[in-house]
Amino acid sequence: MMLRLGDVAPNFKVKTSSGEVDFYEYLGDSWGVLFSHPADYTPVCTTELGRTAQLKPEFDKRNVKVMALSVDSVESHQGWIKDINETQNCVVNFPIIADESKEVAEAYGMMHPNASATFTVRSLFIIAPDKTVKLIISYPASTGRNFDEIIRVIDSLQLTAYHSVATPADWKDGEDVVVSPAIKTEDIAAKFPKGFTEIKPYLRMTPQPNK
C-alpha cells in the first residue's frame, strides 16, 4: 500500500551506516526526514547527501532528524561516505539505511516499478513528532532535490502545526501567513495581536506569529 498524508509512518529496525537503529527510537520527539536514493556511488545522490550533511545546523535548529536509505550494504555505504565527505567538503552526520531486502522501501512505497524495477526513486517523507506523515515528495532518479524547498516546507509545517495559520504560494520564513478559515474574523484580533488584513472574507493575512 502507498503511504498517504496523515498516515502513521511505519516503524522499522534496520542496519545502517551508524549501527542498528530503531526508527521511532531514533526520532524520539523530533520531526523526521526520511529520504531514499537509487544506489550507492551515484553522482546525484552524492551531492544530495553532502548537502544534507552541510545543512545539519538548519535541521538541528528545527528539531529535525534525518535518515537516508539506499538498497546497498553497510560496507558499501561506509566506502561511499568517504567519497561524499571528500568530494562535498562535509562530514556525513546521519545514518544511511542498508535496505538490501527492500523491506523499508516497500513499506514506504519507494519502489516505482514503471520507473525502475530494482532501484528506489528519490522519495522524501517529512514525519511529525506524532509519527504521522506530513509531506511526500518523489523525484525521478535523474533529478536532485531542492533542499531550500525542503527547509521551507519544514518551516511551513511547523508553523501550521503550532499556530492556526497556513502559508501562501511561494511563502518564505518571515513573510505574512494566512489565517485559518476556521477562525472567525471577530476572533482574529485576540489570537493574532500583530493585526491582520482582510483581503476577502475568506482570505485574511497576518504577520508570521512566531517572529
DSSP reduced 3-state for 123:
strand
CB 62 within 8 A of CB 89: no
CB 17 within 8 A of CB 78: yes
45 has catalytic annotation: yes
CA 197/CA 161 separation, integer angstroms: 22
Residues paired with 13 in a beta bridge: 22
| Cell numbers describing residue 46 | 552524492
CA 152/CA 205 separation, integer angstroms: 19
CA 171/CA 154 separation, integer angstroms: 12
Q: Write down the catalytic residue from 45, 55, 105, 111.
A: 45
Residues annotated as part of the active site: 45
